[in-house]
Amino acid sequence: MEWLGVVVQGVLLGGLYALFATGLSLMFGVMRLVNIAHGDLIVLGAYIALSTVAILDVHPVIAMVLVVPIMGFVGYALQRTLLNRTLGADILPPLLVTFGLSVILQNALLEIYSADPQKLSAGPMETASVSFGSLSVGVFPLLTFVSAIVLIGLLQWVFYHTSLGREFRAVSDNQEIAQLMGINKAHVFGVAMALAFAVTAIAGILFGVRTSFDPSIGGGRLLLAFEAVIIGGLGNLWGTLAGGIILGVAQTVGGQINPGWQQLAGHIAFLFVLAIKPTGLFPRVAH
């Protein structure tokens, strides 16, 4: 039962990692954009929630109602005004621009909030648990995992059952032909980035409740998101969930064997999958 509990905790942790990775997967799947600033955007979402909670004196979950639209608007504006200008055959310009954005975000957060660790408080929800026989599961990790499934399911539905999703797939497969068919590529990319930022905001808030954060930790969140995306398969949303679960289970099992092995075990799992299947376990298939 002890090892079963370890695996279950790893699966639930994987839900948070999947949320980290979903926005990144969405950006790559639609725009072929690798966003180096993604980890810092997760931290930005947590800090905006921190300010919202402090100003309005509301629960972090309630703060999502404001933070998610704000981040979505920022994502749309950023894509339309800056990132659309960098997209093309050469992947270097968006990499350089998002790297610069990462540096700016880190320093801006440092100036505004200082380097002191912060944390969002969700009250009794953080320590509450439910029992399944002799197995006890935390309520907040369970809610995080359910949130990951629901969000990925909603995004998957949007992609394959709506006109917006058809536009996403069209510009992803061939931008030139999509434009000839009357699709506004710049607007579609902006909407995709808005959705990615909205999911990133949710991930940042849930992360901020789970553990403390500071302006410098974005790089570590970016690495976890990259690993989950690559394990699952680039552009595959359900694959991203699988990648997050694999990372989470590897980390909790490694930490159970030796506390110093927790992060290392996740990286080893990533390298193992990359070695046997470089395209990821569930590579995206064009539609």
pLDDT digits (tens, 9 = 90+) for 22-60: 999 999 888 888 899 999 999 999 999 999 999 999 999
Residue 270 pLDDT: 93
Q: Where are the domains of the chain?
A: 2-123+137-276
Instruction: Work out the average pLDDT over 118-136.
Output: 87
Mean pLDDT of 106-129: 92
Give just the sign of the alpha carbon dihedral 264, 266, 268, 274. negative
Query: Residue 1: its pLDDT value, please?
Result: 66
- Model confidence at 287, pLDDT cuts 50, 70, 90, reads very low
CB atoms within 10 A of CB 75: 26
- The rounded mean pLDDT for the chain is 91
- Token digits of residue 74: 């920022």
What pLDDT does residue 45 have? 96
**DSSP at 118:** B
Instruction: Tell me what pLDDT residue 285 has.
Output: 53
Residues 180-235 have pLDDT tens digits of 888 888 899 999 999 999 999 999 999 999 999 999 999 999 999 999 999 998 77
Which pair of tokens denotes residue 101?
């954005």
Distance (Å, whole) CA 102 – CA 189: 20
279 is written with which tokens?
Answer: 């395209």
Q: Which CATH class is domain 2-123+137-276?
A: mainly alpha
pLDDT band of residue 3 (cuts 50, 70, 90) is confident
CA–chain centroid gap for 236, Å, is: 13
